[in-house]
Structure 1
Amino acid sequence: MKIISMIPARYGASRFPGKLMKDLNGKSVILRTYEATMATQLFDDVYVVTDSDIIYDEIVKNGGKAIMSLKEHDCGSDRIAEAVENMDIDVVINVQGDEPFTDKESLEKLIKVFKEDDNKEVDLASLMVHINDDDEINNPNTVKVIIDKFDFALYFSRSPIPYPRDKSIDVKYYKHKGVYAFRKQAILDFYRLPMLTLEASEKLEQLRYLEYGKRIKMVETNVQGIEIDTLEDLERARKAWK
C-alpha cells in the first residue's frame, strides 16, 4: 500500500491572511508543519500543494517537495485531488498546513484504519478529540462531529451537536481535527461532485462526502495540538514551541 501525505497551503486565508508564512520560533508555520510531517517517517512521500509562489519557494529552498496548483480551488481536498490524479498511490493523508504540532501517533491511527479495512468499506478516515470546555463546544470556529456506535461520522457542524436539551444525559462532545486520510478514488470522486447545500451552509467540505453517501471513519486521539487560525493561536504556538 503506497501512502503519501499532502499539505494543502493557501496563502490568502480569510481569517488570518499569510498565517502559513508567519514566524514560529525561527521558521515559518508551513515549514514547521512540513518538517513535523516528514519527521513521522510514515509516508512514501510528503508534498506541500499550494497556489502561492511564496509558499512554494519556502518549501523548495529548504529542501522540501512542493506542487503548484494549476487551477483555482475552494478547498484543500480539491487542491489535493488535482495533485494526486495521475499519481500511483493508494491512500493520501491531508495534513493541514496550520498544524505544526502534527504528531506521529495520530497519523499512525489513521493509517491503521486502511491497513485493517480488508473489504474496503472505509472511504476516508479523520481525527477527533474529546472536549468538555463549554466555550469551545459553543465556538463556531471549533467544528464538532457526532458518530454512530461504529465510529462513523453522522454529521459535522459549527454548532454544538448534539443539542443538550436534556442536561441529565452524559453526552460526549468531539472536536473534529482537520486531518483526513482518503482512498485515492474517494478524493477524486469528491473533486468531481458539485457542492450541495449542507456544505455551502456550514462551509465544511467534509459534509460533501456525507451528502453523497461516503463513509467517514472517525478515530479518537488525545493530542489536541494547536491549529493556527488567529494571531492569538500563533502566540500560543510560540509559547508551546519553547
Structure 2
Amino acid sequence: MSMIAVIPSRYASTRLPGKPLVDICGKPMVQHVYERVRRVSLFDEVLVATDDERIANAVEAFGGAACMTSPDCPSGSDRLIEVAKSHPADVYVNVQGDEPLVEPASIEKLARAMLDDPSLQMGTLCYPVSAEQAQNPNLVKVVRAHNGNALYFSRSPIPFPRSGGIAPQYFGHLGMYAYRRELLMNFGSFPYSPLENTEKLEQLRVLQAGIAIRVLEVEATGPGVDTPEDLEAVRRILTEKAG
C-alpha cells in the first residue's frame, strides 16, 4: 500500500507573513516540519505543497521535495487534492506546515492505523486538554464513540457538564489528517454542510455526509505557530532542547 505525506505550506498569513520561512534555530520552519515527517519510515514520498516559489526554493535548498499548487486553493484539503491528482497513492497524510514541534511518533501512529485497518476511510488525532483549555474557541475539541470514531468536533467545550462542575475529560483536536484516495477525491462533491459552515471546520462536512473519522489519542505536542508570540515560544523550546 502506497502512502504519501503532504505538508501544505502557504506564504500568506495575516498574523505572520512568510510564516513557513521564519527562522527557528537556524532553519526555516517548514524544514523543521519536513525533517520530523521524514523520520517516519512508512511514507513513499514526503512533499511540501505550496503556491509560492520562495517556499519551493527553500525546500529544494535543504534537500526536500516541493509540489506547486494553485494560489486559489481555499483550504489545505483543496491543496492536498491537487497534489493527489499528480501523485497517485492509496493513502495521504496531511501534516500542518506550522507545527514545527509535531512528534514523529504521532504521525506514525496515524499512518500505521490506516495501513493496519483497510476499512478506515479517514483518521485524525486528539490529545487530553484541561477544562480551562477547553474554553478556548480557537482550540477545537472532539468527542468520540467507544470504538474511537468521532461523534462531533466543536469550538465549544464538549461534552457540556449540565449539572455543573467540569466534564471528566476533554480532548483537543490535533489537525493532522489521513485520507484514503477515494474519499479525498470525493471530498469536494460532499453535500453542503450547515455544521461545517457554522463551526468553520472542514471535517464536519465528512461527518455530516455519514462517513466515520477514526480519532486516535496521542500526547500533546508543543504549540503550533500562528502568531509572533507562538514563534518565540517554539524558539525557546527548541533552544532549551538543543542546550
Give ranges in structure 1 of 5+ residues lacking alignment: none
Task: Normalising by structure 2, report the TM-score.
Answer: 0.92
| Aligned AA (1:19) | K
Matches within 5 A, 1:30-179: 30-70=30-70, 72-118=72-118, 120=119, 122-134=120-132, 136-167=133-164, 170-179=167-176
Amino acid at match of 1:158: R
Q: If the length of structure 1 is used for normalisation, what is the TM-score?
A: 0.92
Counterpart for residue 225 of structure 2: 228
| Residue 213 (str. 1) matches residue 220 (str. 2) | no
Residues 1:3 and 2:8 aligned together: no
Taking the aligned partners of 2:31 and 2:148, their CA distance within structure 1 comes to 33
Query: 1:115: Cα distance to partner?
Result: 2.5
1:136-169 deviation digits (Å, cap 9, x = unpaired): 2111111111111111111111111112222357
Change (3 A) 1:85 1:177: same
Counterparts of 1:166-205 in structure 2 under 5 Å?
A: 166-167=163-164, 170-193=167-190, 195-205=192-202
Per-residue CA distance 1:214-241 (angstroms, 9 max, x = gap): 2100000013232111211111100110
Per-residue deviation at 1:4? Answer: 1.1
Say whether the 8 Å CA contact 1:22–1:28 is kept in structure 2: yes
How many residues end up aligned between the 2 structures? Answer: 239
Q: Distance in 2 between matches of 1:163 and 1:224?
A: 25
**% same residue:** 40
Cα pair 1:40 1:103 within 8 Å, conserved: no
Specify the SS of the correspondent of 1:85: helix
Tell me the equivalent position of 1:28.
Answer: 28
What letter is aligned with 1:186? L
SS in 2 for 1:238: helix
| 3-state SS of 2:13 partner | coil
Deviates more, 1:187-196 or 1:104-113: 187-196
